[in-house]
């Protein structure tokens, strides 16, 4: 019996703290689904963390371990999928250099995701040289694995678009792929790189508990996957429903962010419709009555995540995580080294394999 190799998927997170519900509905859910069918690589972008926090190496290390715990808690299966540590995949750093020469400096600086980040983090014009470079690095993160899909939140789509441009340019310059070749035909036309597609989750942008901005750790409006049932309850109960009204006055569903959560997290859609109906009519429905089933639904989603997380919270937890990182990264390097060798061959840089020069 022959088995065709599974197509690959790559995505990653920058270790900046714990994951929240926005990550879950934006990308994690897709990852869990994809790992059933594809060969998945989940990258810890710890190098990228240094682009804005080079003065915080201890924090970056702790966040790196913590994010793996979040992944495992969600159901990422390290037997099936690879957990990959960016700083131990040298092919990524090398490809970053080659790719940086295939994209105009000003094109990188116009990347809207970088601009948003500069504003959100208040970086002004003091950011490091490495900060915008990370966008090129992200092209290398992805292309090192020659994946077909990249599951990400909406904010990352601009990066994936840049990655697609780099892949097309590389295939054209070094593999003789005609410029008019369709994206899906680049690989069969002899390109080293397939043109990967971004895959955004069912909710690309989840509103935070402030009801205004996107859920984000730095905006203090996040419900974390590791929050206790009590914390979830407290955060939802503190949400402003968008209007002040008495339970017997008609309410506007559309301006109440609690209903966004109801739509996303409550499985019983008929029940949600009934709640909305009563709310609109002012049928004696207080905000607490809308919030209670939302709290319950979120806790129901988080309960198994909390239970799996507990396995890694003991004193051996960090060692277990490090073992998983080592095993996954080793498997990942086999793919990334193969990609790098193919890329260098195409660039007429094939003078011998690594062993020739390191031995």
> Is 143 one of the binding residues for ligand TRP (CB under 6 A)?
no
Any idea which residue has 């594809």 for tokens? 38
Instruction: Please select the residue that binds ligand TRP; options are 74, 142, 272, 285, rule is CB under 6 A.
Output: 142
Instruction: Pick one of 51, 111, 138, 171: the residue that binds ligand TRP (CB under 6 A).
Output: 138
45 binds ligand TRP (CB under 6 A): yes
Nearer Cβ to ligand TRP, position 144 or 324?
144
Q: How far is the CB of 23 from ligand TRP (least distance, A)?
A: 8
Count of residues in contact with ligand TRP, rule CB under 6 A: 14
Q: Which stretch binds ligand TRP (CB under 6 A): 40-48, 207-215, 273-281, 285-293?
A: 40-48
Q: Are 123 and 117 in contact (CB under 8 A)?
A: yes
227 binds ligand TRP (CB under 6 A): no
d(CA 332, CA 91): 10
**Is 96 in contact with 140 (CB distance < 8 Å)?**
yes
Is residue 291 classed as helix, strand or coil in its secondary structure?
helix
The answer for residues whose C-beta is within 8 angstroms of residue 16's C-beta and 6 or more apart is 49, 53, 63, 217
141 is a site residue for ligand TRP (CB under 6 A): yes
Residue number, 61 or 234, with CB nearest to ligand TRP:
61
Report if residue 332 touches ligand TRP, rule: CB under 6 A: no
Q: Residue 292, class by beta-carbon neighbours within 10 Å (0-12 exposed, 13-18 middle, 19+ buried)? A: middle
- Do the beta carbons of residue 31 and residue 40 sit within 8 Å? yes
By the rule CB under 6 A, 118 interacts with ligand TRP: no
How far apart CA 61 and CA 105 sit, in angstroms, is: 31
| 25 near ligand TRP, judged by CB under 6 A | no
Contact set with ligand TRP (CB under 6 A): 10-14, 43, 45, 48, 138, 141-142, 150, 152, 156
């Amino acid at each position: 019996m022959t088995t065709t190799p599974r197509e690959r998927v790559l995505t990653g997170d920058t270790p900046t703290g714990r994951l929240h519900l926005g990550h879950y509905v934006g990308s994690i859910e897709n990852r869990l689904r994809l790992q059933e069918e594809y060969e998945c690589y989940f990258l810890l972008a710890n190098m990228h963390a240094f682009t804005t926090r080079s003065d915080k190496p201890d924090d970056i290390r702790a966040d790196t371990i913590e994010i793996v715990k979040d992944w495992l808690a969600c159901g990422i299966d390290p037997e099936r999928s690879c957990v990959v540590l960016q700083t131990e995949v040298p092919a990524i750093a090398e490809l970053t250099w080659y790719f940086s020469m295939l994209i105009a400096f000003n094109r990188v600086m116009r990347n809207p995701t970088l601009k948003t980040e500069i504003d959100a983090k208040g970086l002004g014009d003091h950011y490091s040289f490495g900060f915008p470079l990370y966008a090129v690095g992200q092209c290398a993160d992805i292309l090192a694995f020659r994946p077909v899909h990249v599951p990400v939140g909406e904010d990352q789509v601009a990066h994936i678009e840049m990655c697609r441009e780099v892949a097309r340019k590389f295939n054209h310059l070094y593999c003789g792929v005609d410029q008019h070749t369709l994206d899906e035909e680049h690989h069969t036309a002899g390109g080293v790189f397939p043109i990967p597609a971004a895959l955004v989750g069912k909710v690309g942008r989840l509103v935070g508990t402030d009801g205004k901005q996107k859920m984000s750790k730095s905006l203090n409006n996040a419900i974390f996957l590791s929050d206790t049932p009590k914390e979830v309850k407290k955060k939802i109960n503190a949400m402003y429903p968008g209007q002040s009204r008495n339970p017997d006055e008609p309410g506007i569903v559309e301006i109440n962010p609690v209903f966004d959560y109801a739509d996303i997290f409550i499985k019983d859609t008929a029940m949600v419709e009934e709640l909305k109906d009563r709310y609109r009519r002012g049928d004696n429905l207080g905000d607490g009555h809308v919030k209670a089933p939302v709290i319950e639904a979120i806790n129901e989603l988080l309960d198994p995540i909390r239970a799996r997380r507990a396995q890694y919270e003991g004193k051996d937890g960090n060692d277990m995580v490090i073992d998983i990182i080592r095993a996954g990264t080793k498997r990942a390097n086999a793919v990334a080294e193969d990609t790098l060798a193919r890329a260098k061959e195409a660039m007429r840089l094939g003078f011998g394999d690594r062993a020739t020069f390191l031995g």
